[in-house]
Structure 1
Amino acid sequence: MAGLKSGAPTPQDITVHSQSRVLEITFSDGATFRIPFELMRVYSPSAEVQGHGHGQEVLQTGKREVDLVALEPIGNYAVQPSFSDGHNTGIFSWDYLYFLGSQQDKLWGDYTDRLRAAGVDRDAPMPGKGGHTRGSH
């Protein structure tokens, strides 16, 4: 199994909860996480979000209402979600999903700190993305 540390927890069950906008994952070690779509979108491991090195991250805003429209399996080690804002380049390994689930309180804190430092609101539209309006569902 490429990319998995031996003994690393693997998902036993993955459920997309569209109404509450969370991805529920039960892992082989018994841990169950409910990861909000917004958190997944804001922390997408894609280059579009993470940039190409430390300090290059692109602060994501306006993602509170984002939906998960598809979840494609990538081999037996990851999933690739498609979000309602058109973002679909993030590959979420099992390890990364476990990290998001287990660290989500800290990650939310880091995210709100970054928003505050940038002087932007969580619900502000993303700058410079022509054609994406809040009303397009």
Structure 2
Amino acid sequence: MAFSRRDIPPVELEFADSRAFNLSAEFLRVYSPAADSKIRSVGGEKVIFGRRHVGIMSAEPVGNYGVRLLFDDLHKTGIYTWSYFYYLGSNKFTLMRNYIKTLKKHGLNRDPKRK
């Protein structure tokens, strides 16, 4: 089965306490724990934009503590620990709302630039 970028399923995570989270590739890319995640500094704020249709090409375990994700924009330096995944899932709506507010504040968009 082939997926278009709009049909990419979210990453599904379930934890021992029975909490489960569905996190989109865009959300995970925007909140990458990597220091060099192709961030644009706007007014002193670091903002990632234009990643609405980013996909995850692969995921590789890093020890027992996390996962390295390779995104189709070739970002791959962040290691998502299980506790960071849990934090992201627990705060998904607040984090995404804040992200969208920051984009609007700086006149940026979730959609990639047209070529």
TM-score range, shorter chain: 0.7 to 0.9
Q: Which runs of 5+ in 1 are unaligned?
A: 1-17, 126-132
Tell me what 1:102 maps to: 90
Note if 1:123 corresponds to 2:114.
no
Q: Which deviates the most, 64-73 or 42-51?
A: 42-51
Q: Distance in 1 between matches of 2:55 and 2:66?
A: 19
Residue identity matched to 1:98: Y
SS at match of 2:36: helix
Aligned residues: 107
* Identical columns (%): 37
Between 1 and 2, higher relative CO (CA 8 Å, sep ≥ 6) is seen in 2
Note if 1:32 corresponds to 2:58.
no
Shift of 1:48: 1.2
Q: Relative to structure 1, is the Cα distance of residues 57 and 77 closer, same or farther in structure 2, using a 3 angstrom cutoff?
A: farther
Alignment check: 8 A CA contact 1:44 1:50 kept: no
Shift of 1:56: 6.2
TM score, norm. by length of structure 2: 0.83
Q: Distance in 2 between matches of 1:68 and 1:124?
A: 16
Alignment check: 8 A CA contact 1:49 1:58 kept: no
TM score, norm. by length of structure 1: 0.70
Residue identity matched to 2:104: R
Note if 1:20 corresponds to 2:41.
no
Note if 1:64 corresponds to 2:52.
yes
SS at match of 2:53: coil
Larger of the two Rg values belongs to structure: 1
Q: Which runs of 5+ in 2 are unaligned?
A: none
Q: State the Cα RMSD in Å.
A: 2.2
